[in-house]
Structure 1
Amino acid sequence: MRNRQSISSFDFITLQMTFKSKNPFKMQAKTLLQEHIAKTASLTQEEFDYFFSHFKSLTFKKGQTIISEGDKVDCEYFVISGCLKAFFINDEIKMYILQFAMPTWWTSDYNALYNQTPAQINVDCITDAEVLCLSSADREKLCAEFHQIEHFFRWRTNKGYIASQKRLLSFMNNNVKTRYEELLALYPQLYNLVPKHLIASYLGVSRETLSRLHNS
């Protein structure tokens, strides 16, 4: 476990110089991630700067692919701006959307990431997007060095398990109208941001059914 005093003066000065960048995306990304982490982890500014230094900032255009089926997956992605979708396509070429990832959401193919198997999930950009990328190796390193960071990622993983369970139970127990209302509660801006056929795919209904739900 990393001691709070163990970052050298040289390292800290280097970090300060790095993060005084005028790059608006980096400043926005740093602020958004720091606010996100602060919900469950109490880090000093020095510790957070060190944590942030392990992330790589990436920008993508609308329609650009981040993960394709069959890829080797080394990173997970924290969304700064825009909207991504995680999905898979079955043997009948039917698309099933698992997740819409908006700002402060994380996404990846986690089975491929943790088990080092080829990706089964695709991730692409519904809009132009800006993300932070954290490698699996750096995540493990940071968790070993800081208990607070390990706690944050454990909390986030548990939250993801709960969300997946709730969605599965909703598909088993709730009618389409209830699932639609749950979707809008989870993603309030989604209907005006995302093409309607993608929302229909997430709900497992036709676009015509979605239109009736929206107008009812």
Structure 2
Amino acid sequence: MRSDNSKIKEIFKDIVFTEDEIEIITSVFHKLNVKKGTILLNAGDSVNEQYYILEGCLRSYYINSEGKEFTVQFGIKDWWMSDYTAFFTGSKATMTIEVIQDAILYKITEKNKEYLYAKIPKIEHFFRVKLEKAFAAFQKRVLSDISKSAKERYLLFINTYPNIHKSVKNYHIASYLGITTESLSRIRKELLKD
């Protein structure tokens, strides 16, 4: 229990909680040790959970009607992940979430999150700020996708994910960047010459 308490404090950095509040929080967050290759969410599923990544790496991806796979997001330490459109609207998932490096996660349901908002209002503020930052990051990514070259997008990717870009499969990175694996190889070779 005490180790979970320290993890809760790590999840909610900069917030001071009473011992009673920590007990409430630990009662609704559930720790998961998840192996590489595990699918946490499939497209078409109902989405009722959000995941905090304590360790490891996840990715969310979308498969279009032609069967082409697009990596939408990588999730690394201290990030939150879900299919947020489905999570917030009650629609079915359009994305799949896969564990691509063994992970330690903390999950919370929408119902339990609402419970925390009512019991500990400073948590609602915490999540609002996280959501604002996530929205800004997604908008920045969209603008990058429409305005930057593939090479510039790759450089931005390795700056955003400095600890995982070497251990993630090339086709995952290529699908995230919206390019072929051949183009990714060519970009990496060009960068080695620079």
C-alpha distance in 2, partners of 1:200/1:52? 38
Q: Deviations over 1:89-143 (max 9, x none)?
A: 0011011111101111111111111221111111011122221110000001111
Q: 1:182 aligns with which of 144, 156, 159?
A: 156
1:201 aligned counterpart, secondary structure: helix
In the alignment, what sits opposite 1:54?
28
What is the root-mean-square deviation of aligned Cα atoms in Å? 1.5
Larger Rg: 1
C-alpha distance in 2, partners of 1:194/1:71? 26
TM-score relative to the length of structure 1: 0.83
In the alignment, what sits opposite 1:34?
9
Q: What amino acid sits opposite 1:138 in the alignment?
A: N
Q: Gapped runs of 5+ residues in structure 1?
A: 1-18, 21-26
Q: Higher strand fraction: Structure 1 or Structure 2?
A: 2
Q: 1:195 aligns with which of 150, 169, 174?
A: 169
C-alpha distance in 1, partners of 2:173/2:144? 16
C-alpha distance in 1, partners of 2:123/2:186? 45
Runs of 4+ in 1 over 6 A off after TM superposition: none
CA contact (8 A) 1:65 1:124 kept: yes
Instruction: Give 1:64 deviation, angstroms.
Output: 1.2
In the alignment, what sits opposite 2:46?
72
Q: What amino acid sits opposite 2:93 in the alignment?
A: A
Q: Gapped runs of 5+ residues in structure 2?
A: none
Q: Deviations over 1:27-48 (max 9, x none)?
A: 3x65344234123x33234423
TM-score relative to the length of structure 2: 0.91
* Identity across the alignment (%): 34
